[in-house]
Amino acid sequence: MGILHLLFIFLSLQWKTSRSQTWIKAGYWYTGSEYPIPNINSPLFTHLICAFAYINPSTHELVLSASDQPYVSTFASMVKKSNPSVKPLLSIFTQNGNLGDGGNSSNFLLMTADPAYRKSFIRSSIKMARLYGFEGLDLYVTTLLRTKGNMSNLGILFNEWRVAVDQEKLILTMGAHYSPELDLVSYPVDSVCKNFDWVHILSYDYHTSKIDNFTAAHSALYDPSSKVNTDYGIKEWIKRGLPASKLVLGLAYHGYAWTLMDPKDNGIGAPAKGIAITRDGTMSYEYIKKYLRSYGVDSVYNSTYVINYCTIGSFWIGFDDVEAIRNKVAYAKGKGLLGYNVWQVPNDYNWELSKAAAQEDNYSRHKRLLAISLCTAASFILLLGCIICYMRKRIISKGRPITFHILVANFQHPLKIKNKK
């Protein structure tokens, strides 16, 4: 019975382990999207991140623009109405200028250099989070590696901030560049690992039609000709010391449109002469789906890069459709990452991508549980066979006839026969 008891404990531990690891299904909602907060399908996510609060360059305190305040102040309560268990986080934008302008974080670095400024920032961030019902804070520092400035004080800020958020029982996350290093400038990975609950990487926008004169996989999971891809970045973060269990994969709910030089040359890497369709070439997934359907066109899935693309006349659009999203979530599961984070949830079309990501998560979890169950069952059968063989040999050695009754009796009370003469 002791052996069976140990086996039962083993099975229980395996089941508990498979259930205890929280899989992150996060998503950004950006105030500039003008998408109604009540329309967010909250049950598809574990965490929803409201973007953005900003840092006042004079006081170094967190502030909201007048137009954003009504949305930010009600975000947490609204997303919880349809999913009380979802955790709302407030994201802090650290760049100078506007989102998408390729700015730097020089003012943010100046703040980290002064103890009084750091204190103001930390205090105001926690105050705003508590005021509006957020359960965590997110530091959006994706362009930090492009910034000229002294980064030696970052670790101090992170240490002090962690102590403060722990006292308030808040989550602390970071949105970061796909790679921990760029042009010999690096994140303080040890401090990041110590102080942040997880890091979601910007694993998209590697190429844009506004900059590159060739079609490209802007969210390439792999790239056989370049290190600018998600798999490379994930491996670099892990190599530098951030465990896979603290990495969250970024998923893009948008794509880019190019104008081809030659419509007949329309593969990935084809010559192009600039943006197409929209003012800056950016297209939400919803816009892409509606655009394709209006022309009766389906996208092509490319397994080498793990993206989708399509050609309509001289226009070329690269994006992630359901196939790419599912394979990227499967990749995250296979690499032992903590989950995925979407930029941004309003760009979805009928929640197709979010449902595909969640379904792939469920499928992977079922496969894992099945594997655990099969291994446990096989172990039990092997153990039972060994016990029966062992008891059979003992009974034969005592010259007693072998019956099922005796096998069971010895299996349940092995010491009784030993003590009989």
Q: Could you tell me if residue 290 is inside a domain?
A: no
Same domain, 374 and 343: no
- Quick check: helix, strand or coil at residue 220? coil
Q: Could you tell me if residue 299 is inside a domain?
A: no
Same domain, 167 and 244: yes
Give the separation between CA 171 and CA 173, rounded to whole angstroms: 7
Instruction: State how far the alpha carbon of 348 is from the alpha carbons of 42, 169, 356, in Å.
Output: 13, 32, 11
Alpha helices in 241-351 (DSSP H): 285-295, 322-334
Are the beta carbons of 138 and 91 closer than 8 angstroms?
A: yes
Same domain, 338 and 395: no
For position 133, what pLDDT does the model report?
98
Tell me which amino acid residue 162 is.
Answer: R
Cβ neighbours of 63 (radius 10 Å): 15
Give the separation between CA 85 and CA 80, rounded to whole angstroms: 7
Q: Could you tell me if residue 368 is inside a domain?
A: yes
Give the separation between CA 369 and CA 123, rounded to whole angstroms: 44
Give the separation between CA 338 and CA 196, rounded to whole angstroms: 13
Q: Could you tell me if residue 276 is inside a domain?
A: no
Same domain, 68 and 185: yes
* Domain boundary residue, one of 354, 373, 404: 354
- Quick check: helix, strand or coil at residue 324? helix
Higher pLDDT, 417 or 395: 395
For residue 267, the 8-state DSSP code is S
For position 184, what pLDDT does the model report?
85
Phi, psi of 9 (to 5 degrees): -65, -40
DSSP per residue over 97-156, as a string? SSTTS----HHHHHHHT-HHHHHHHHHHHHHHHHHTT-SEEEEE-TTGGG--S--TTHHH
Phi, psi of 151 (to 5 degrees): -100, 10
Q: Which pTM value belongs to this model?
A: 0.83
Give the tens place of pLDDT for each residue, 323-380: 999 999 999 999 999 999 999 999 999 999 999 999 986 654 544 444 444 444 444 5
Tell me which amino acid residue 190 is.
Answer: D
**Structure tokens given for 93:** 């934008």
pLDDT class of 145 with cuts at 50, 70, 90: confident
Give the separation between CA 238 and CA 345, rounded to whole angstroms: 27
Q: Could you tell me if residue 45 is inside a domain?
A: yes
Are the beta carbons of 4 and 379 closer than 8 angstroms?
A: no
Instruction: State how far the alpha carbon of 139 is from the alpha carbons of 24, 122, 176, 260, 353, in Å.
Output: 17, 12, 8, 38, 25
Same domain, 346 and 378: no
Higher pLDDT, 335 or 150: 335
* Domain boundary residue, one of 310, 336, 354: 354
**Structure tokens given for 210:** 């506004």
Nearest to 414 by CA among 383, 392, 385: 392
Mean pLDDT score, 24-39: 96
Q: Could you tell me if residue 367 is inside a domain?
A: yes
Give the separation between CA 194 and CA 231, rounded to whole angstroms: 23
Instruction: State how far the alpha carbon of 233 is from the alpha carbons of 185, 257, 407, in Å.
Output: 15, 25, 59
The CATH number of the domain where 66 resides is what?
3.20.20.80
Same domain, 83 and 166: yes
pLDDT for 383 beyond 70: no
Q: How many domains does the chain have?
A: 2
Same domain, 248 and 359: no
Domain of residue 151, residue span: 21-253+323-354
Question: Tokens 């909201």, residue?
Answer: 64
Q: Could you tell me if residue 300 is inside a domain?
A: no
* Domain boundary residue, one of 354, 369, 396: 354
Q: Could you tell me if residue 259 is inside a domain?
A: no
Same domain, 198 and 72: yes
Same domain, 243 and 386: no
Q: Which residues of 69-103 are buried (b: 16+ CB within 10 A; e: fewer)?
A: eebbeebbebbbeebeebbbbbbbbbbbeeeeeeb
Same domain, 379 and 232: no
Strand partners, 260: 272
Higher pLDDT, 116 or 16: 116
Which of 15-29, 87-101, 159-173, 343-357 bottoms out in mean pLDDT, i.e. has the lowest?
15-29
Average pLDDT over the chain reads 86
**Structure tokens given for 230:** 């998600």
Which of 8-12, 130-134, 364-368, 396-400 bottoms out in mean pLDDT, i.e. has the lowest?
8-12
Same domain, 40 and 150: yes
Same domain, 346 and 373: no
